[in-house]
A = this chain, B = another copy of it.
């Protein structure tokens, strides 16, 4: 029950450390007969890739995914889809400065204590590089989901928030700005702010919002595998995530039932959508929307006190090329994880009734 698999029916298992030879995964349970657009998969990879704009890490990683099985003559065959992504850049770096040192608010200390051994090369398994595999699988899941439309965007960078309801935003803007927010002028402010933060050698947190449209009714498996519970787990499993709320979320706790209840229209749709498209753990056909909180990246280009693995105090400073703010590159990861959850429940739901 080691935790490197996600999903029940549409199931992703991943492997790989940031500086090993390759990372990769196996998607088991994708139905046969799905035409796979490999360019669309690679396009998702480009959205997550380092070096894509001036406000993200300038590391060079090709992130080219190679499928090894499960797809034949352009279609899935029902057999497991194996894939690898080579770590082309892994040998050039020197990690001796962190070999015996625990970086603050990283996973160095906890991995070392849990496993008694640590692949100290750049975060090893705990590196967000692992999420590239999620994006591959999510891209396949998206193709399975057809008309279901998943759109994530940055809704906050530090204290800069995009405060409009998603219905008033222009999703077409998202991929036009390097921050991936859904409003052109906010994008400029956020971009400037991230540049400023980077100059300081500092980092900053942010929030990603996600909206899912054209959702079929019936997705989710109560009582423990409620749709939103699985979304929550999926999002919280992404590196640096500290919170998840859907529908009215934390703000909804301040409302009264008479304000919060979503009254029905005659066709079963609802007049409001505080429920966020999920009732009793099952999708009701309304839009699903949720927010994901990301902490500031732990690696900063400033001196910090820390300890080595013998408990000696020492100073360290981040080296290399790191993201000053993780949310722009995390947008495709949020979408990928949402797609994995939906694909799994979409398949399971076919078995709900005779």
Contact = CB atoms under 8 A, between A and B. Distances in A.
Interface stretch (A44-52, A108-116, A177-185): A108-116
A255 B296 contact: yes
Given A72-B117, A280-B106, A295-B253, A224 B353 contact: no
Contacts of A276: 242
B69 A218 contact: no
B126 A280 contact: yes
Contacts of A5: 5, 13, 28, 224
A302 interface: yes
A158 B126 contact: no
Contact of A247 (B231, B242, B283): B242
Contacts of A217: 110, 113-114
A280 B260 CA distance: 36
A209 interface: no
Given A1-B8, A29-B1, A116-B32, A78 B353 contact: yes
Contact of A246 (B82, B243, B252): B243
Contacts of A205: 252-255, 260
A326 to B, nearest CB: 10
Contacts of A275: 105
A207 interface: yes
Contacts of A222: 3-4, 107, 125-126
A281 B225 contact: no
Interface in A51-95: 66, 68-70, 72, 75-82, 84
A336 interface: no
A99 B244 CA distance: 35
Interface string A284-301: 100000010111111110
The oligomer's copy count stands at 4
A101 to B, nearest CB: 10
Contacts of A28: 2, 4-5, 13, 15
Contacts of A26: 4, 13-15, 25-26
A295 to B, nearest CB: 5
Contacts of A249: 242-243, 293
Most B C-beta atoms less than 10 A away, residue of A13, A82, A220: A82
Interface string A1-20: 11111101101011111001
Contacts of A313: 264, 266
A262 interface: yes
Contacts of A230: 233
B256 A296 contact: yes
A347 B10 CA distance: 15
A115 B9 CA distance: 16
Interface string A230-266: 1111111100001111111110111111111111111
A228 interface: yes
Given A6-B224, A33-B354, A102-B268, 13 more contacts: A16-B82, A21-B66, A23-B68, A23-B82, A25-B26, A32-B117, A105-B260, A106-B279, A115-B352, A206-B253, A250-B293, A253-B295, A264-B306
A104 to B, nearest CB: 4
A98 interface: no
B293 A252 contact: yes
A210 B194 CA distance: 34
